[in-house]
Structure 1
Amino acid sequence: KRRIYKPVWDRMLLRTITDYNALNRQLKETYSLEVLQYVGLFNEKGNLRYYKHPLIFPYLDTLRRASHFQARAVDSSVEPKELHLKGTIPFPYNMSALDQKRGWIYLCEGVIDTLTMLQQGLQAVGIPGVRSFKVQWLPLFKEKNVVLCLDHDEAGRKGMEYLQQVFGNAGIRTIILGDGLENIPVNMKEGEDVNEWFGGKK
């Protein structure tokens, strides 16, 4: 329903937990429970946390190694819908797009919206939420013009205002999706995100 298809799925190394019990057992046999709990894979009861979050989005570094990942629920009634490992997120999702070459980059709110842009053949990176951008990431964007593509709601608009200031202070040009400079006409409804605008469904 989200319209993320196999070429992008394969490129970004998306995975699903198809046999929770087998994976739970294998991890316990391979690593100590202390380590599994420390990194945030296992809960306080000693079980894999992702029983209701079987969809795995790895954050790949420049060598395509998974340095972090986000797990997502498939059932829309599950809260929270996303879980992260413990610790800080090391870099934006799809960091390989920040290749230090001049050009445009789309900055999206969330993995799904980033994948949607990649599905459209656009260079995009993602952050988990409107206030999760880290100023330490600014050097990664130094050769880019940034198109801000956060959700079309009050929080998203405030987030884009904040990011315009952060990038502007670093001398990095930003525009908001729909300003017309990126040749994509946008008529997003209130509350929509990029995925919904392109025809996906929550």
Structure 2
Amino acid sequence: MLDPKQFKNTEEQQENEMLISKEYYDIVYSRVPERSKDTFNKDLIECLKYLAIMSLTKGRRIVVTPEVDDVWHELIVQTKNYENLCKALPGERFIHHTSITPSEYEGVVGSKEFVDEFLKWIPDYIQNFGKFTEENIKRWTVAQFLINNIKIPIDELNNLGDKSQAEVKFDSDWVKYFNNEIKKISKY
């Protein structure tokens, strides 16, 4: 016999299937001070990309700017919504946050692993979300470091990301879902 519940598409079910509901968005936005909606949206979108990649790793050092990290903190505070967000990511697991400085983290994993892990972000980002632009690169400390300190031009960084082996690769259906969610968020 068919279970009629499987055909119900309640508002609550629809909201649980979203990365960020309007209500969740409004709460987080209200708690991130002194930021235009446009800037907040850009920070949120890059935060979601960061979390998506993290969901398919065993954990890595945070490589986004403090502004994006602030958004992540506010997402986490809304625990039920954050749990649902994590379940909607490709890894379908809760992503924990641990405060640790880069030097402390390097001490835990070792210098070689620290650098290797740092560089893995480039192909993982580019091969899943496209090339870095002048706008989105502002939110990724790893890319900023390579451009500003190592003097790698953005187009060369993008080429390296295209040619290097990505550790994380999303299913094309999930990428379509993600892009649709981003369109919804942009309209909030």
Would you say same fold, with TM above 0.5?
no
Larger relative helix fraction = 2
The two structures have a TM-score, normalised by structure 2, of 0.29
Q: Which has the higher contact order (CA 8 A, sep 6+)?
A: 2
